[in-house]
Structure 1
Amino acid sequence: MKPEDFDYLSKMLRDRSGLVLTKDKAYLLESRLMPVARKRGYKGLEDLVTQLRNRDETLANDVTEAMTTNESFFFRDVKPFDQFRQIVLPNLLKARATRKNFRIWCAAASSGQEPYTLAMILKEEAARLNGWRHDILGTDLSKEILSKAQRGIYSQFEVQRGLPIQMLVKYFKKADDMWEIDPAVRSMVQYKPWNLLQDLKPLGSFDVVFCRNVLIYFDQPTKTKVLNSIADLLADDGVLYLGGAETVLGISDRFKPIPGQRGVYAVQKPGYSGPSLGAAAG
């Protein structure tokens, strides 16, 4: 790939999605964008870049989606979901006892495993949630991957990655060589295409936000912008989940780590000490 083509693609992707690509990641452009080029009938990436320079917006969207579609799996890393079920959810039930509703946002929903994991957890807690309204919103930059999430159909490989066998049996049914999630669970999640670099306010307010394994792809100014935008949407006692390799330290002063809870952050607001989540999850 020509250096000027790499520079053009990396700048375009950074501007459109926040994705930062260094030159040692040029192989990712080759592997992910060649299928896009072939689909268009181009000989290679040089032709693809030429068309992009002609301001082909449809192609630009296809290229951005191809580069930002990341893998996901059920109950990824396990502990955050145990922590949500054992500590955050009981805290929400206590704090929202009067209004009996709460909202959760999965900010990088990908193919749906994370929001459906949360939906299954809430299903398991149905007795405690009787009379409550709870909304789960899953967003992603890629419309194609969200379409897969909305269908809720997964391969044997996908359901074997992290999904406990009892959950598979209880909430999925076999459909030929695939597994389809229970329609009742699927209906608990609303999906919407959204770019984290856009204005987030139209999404509304939230009590819990999962934005895991997303910030690692951004440069520091973009991380700061996204974190501050999320803070604007979170309730005063709201909780933010980040990936294990991510942190707010040195990036945003709008959040603070919750003691004893790795990867879980409280909104930093004047005069408010944050939710009482100090107990360790089992």
Structure 2
Amino acid sequence: MQAADFQFLSALIKERSGIALSSDKTYLLENRLGPLAAQRRLNDIAGLVARMKSVRDEQLIRDVVEAMTTNESLFFRDGKPFELLRTAILPRIVAARPKERPLRIWSAACSSGQEAYSIAITLLEEEALLAGRPVEIVATDIATSMLIKAKAGVYSQFEVQRGLPIRLLLKYFTQKGTNWEIAPRLRSMVSFRQHNMLGECAGLGRFDIVFCRNVLIYFDEPTKKGVIERIAQVLAPDGVLLLGAVETIIGLSTRLEIVPGAAGIYRPVGSGPRAAVA
């Protein structure tokens, strides 16, 4: 790939998605965009770039950005956040809210929906604790193709085997040929929306819990700061933000602080001991 083509593509992807590509990621561009070039009947990535420079094809730009988003997802990924949700976060938040107030959870950059449905399963498994409380799970992603798959709620045998215990598979899914379809009740708990993490999120409403896991690792520091600031704006005063195991906001925000004894979980500064989940 020509250096000029890499610079053009990396700048475009950074502007549209926030994903920062270092110069050693040329292979990634070639692997992800080669098939797209072929699909568009272009000779190679150079032809793809030439096409974008000569014609303002918004659909092609969206396809390029979607091809570069990492869509790795699995049910109950990493395990620990969902255990903390069940044993510590939910009991505290439910106790602090009027029964009629909906519990609102955001699954940011939800990919093909496994995280959002894992959250929904966790809530259904704790129905007695919720005691009829309304629940709203909002799952967002930049990629239209991922949202279509997530809304369908149909997963292959390989996908359900990744992190989903057999008991929960049989309880919440129905086998359809070689695939598994999520139960209507579970699907109804989640609303999927297209959202770019670079954009304002106030329109999504306020949330008690935000899952934004394994997202920040793809951004440079200024982009991370902007994302965290926007999340902080929609987080309830005693809400919590859950990040990925290797992510941190240390040095990125003055509005959020780590919850003592709970790595990867953050709360608004000054929210006090009541927000502890450890």
TM above 0.5, yes or no, is yes
RMSD: 1.1
Distance 1:224 1:242, change over 3 A: same
Q: State the Cα distance separating 1:70 from its structure 2 match.
A: 1.7
| 2:238/2:275 contact within 8 Å kept | no
> Displacement, 1:273?
2.0
TM-score, normalised on structure 2? 0.97
Distance in 2 separating the partners of 1:131 and 1:2: 59
Which residue of 1 is the match for residue 250 of structure 2?
249
Secondary structure of 1:163's match?
coil
Displacement of 1:23:
1.2
Contact 1:201 1:233 in 2 (8 A): yes
| Cα distance in 1 for residues equivalent to 2:189 and 2:253 | 32
Q: Which amino acid aligns with 2:48?
A: L
2:231 maps to 230
Measured in 2, the distance between the counterparts of 1:100 and 1:5 equals: 52
Question: Matched residues in 2 for 1:187 and 1:278: separation?
Answer: 28
Shift in alpha-carbon separation, 1:18–1:80, aligned structure 2, 3 A: same
Cα offset for 1:278?
4.6
Q: Deviations over 1:149-201 (max 9, x none)?
A: 00000011100110011001101111111111111101110000000101111
Offset at residue 274 of structure 1 (A): 5.6
1:38 aligns with 2:15: no
Please tell me whether the aligned partners of residues 268 and 274 of structure 1 are also in contact (alpha carbons under 8 angstroms).
Answer: no
The aligned amino acid for 1:238 is G
Measured against aligned partners, the alpha-carbon deviations of 1:178-235 in whole angstroms (never above 9, x if no partner) come to 1111111011100000001011111111110000000000000000000000000011
> Any stretches of 5+ residues in structure 1 without a counterpart?
none
Partner of 2:75: 74
Distance 1:98 1:181 in 2: 28
Alignment of 1:1-282 (within 5 A): 1-53=1-53, 54-269=55-270, 272-273=271-272, 275-279=274-278
Comparing 91-100 with 224-233, greater Cα deviation is found at 91-100
Q: Cα distance, 1:254 vs. partner?
A: 1.4
Opposite residue 22 of structure 2, the aligned amino acid is T
- Size of the aligned set, in residue pairs, is 277
Q: How far does residue 97 in structure 1 lie from its aligned partner after superposition? A: 3.0
How far apart, CA to CA, are the structure 2 residues paired with 1:243 and 1:93? 24
Listed one character per residue, the Cα deviations across residues 25-68 of structure 1 (whole Å, up to 9, x for unaligned) are 11110111111111111110011001111321110000000101
Q: Provide structure 2 residue ranges, at least 5 long, that are not aligned to the other structure.
A: none
**Residues 84 and 277, structure 2, Cα contact 8 Å, conserved in 1:** no
* TM-score for both structures, normalised by structure 1: 0.96
SS, match of residue 122 in structure 1: helix
Q: Contact between 2:91 and 2:129, CA under 8 Å: does it hold in 1?
A: no
Read off the aligned partner of 2:26 and give its amino acid letter: A
Secondary structure, aligned partner of 1:198: coil
SS in 2 for 1:244: coil
Residues 258-281 of structure 1: CA deviation (Å, up to 9, x unaligned): 011011000125xx32634253xx
